[in-house]
Chains A and B, each alone.
Chain A
Amino acid sequence: MFYQTPTVDTSGYMIAGYAVAFIVMGLYVASLYIRTRNLNRDMETLEEMENSDS
């Protein structure tokens, strides 16, 4: 009936957008995990030092 310009294919941008969202969130969760693990290790070391001191 009416001539309509076909919808532009912008799916590439969409994928880029979602990739960014997931990757950034993933990286943040990973950083929380790594920091927690490092701190726990530090905690162990420090507790050992404290015990060997006293």
Chain B
Amino acid sequence: MAEQRTNSRPPKGNFIKAVSAVVWKDLQAEFRSRELFSAMLVFSLLIILIFNFALELDVKTRQSVTAGVLWATFAFAGTLGLNRSMAIEKDRGCLDGLLLAPVDRSASYFGKVISNLAFMLIVEIIVLPVYSVLYNINLFQPGLLLVILLGSIGYVGVGTLLAAMSVQTRTRDILLPILLFPVVIPVLLAAVKASTGYLEGLEFSEILSPLSLLIAYDVIFIAVAFMVFDSVVEE
């Protein structure tokens, strides 16, 4: 039976259902195997360990460098999660399954973004207290958590799109960081600036600028990725 691609949009309820279906499928699969999650977590902790030996994190420098160390950790661990998440799709042929469903393909994009974001946030939530304990800094400030959320959204928004592409190339995993890092620099810059601002207790007026940049980046890139995702998964 040939699939009819008509221009009439399926009712909105379908869209949300499709998105939730994708998210739920990923979360369930991950809950059962936990391979992605444990890999990301262990990797993050190891990175923090490496930073400890690579940088002289005495009490004075710790303050200024914490935000950078955290975000570098998230950036590296993030690629791990993104790679695995899309590789699983490709290997199990799930991508094809999603494509045949009579639903807007952007639903699969949003679904993947949300599940990837969930994984990343869970890892971050665990890394924060570990870092806090190891370096005696209180990282559980609402401002910082907000920055981490916004930064992760931007990172995962672009990362999911680029991972969908890199997983279809010959070089696969290696290519994702090469594609992702140059493009995600504004997120890192703004996130580190805003994080440091919150950690050092600066005036909100000073933190407003990088925070707005994060929000602007998130909006722009998720919008673009949403429009363009079709081109990336069609056969």
Direct A–B contact present (CB less than 8 angstroms): no
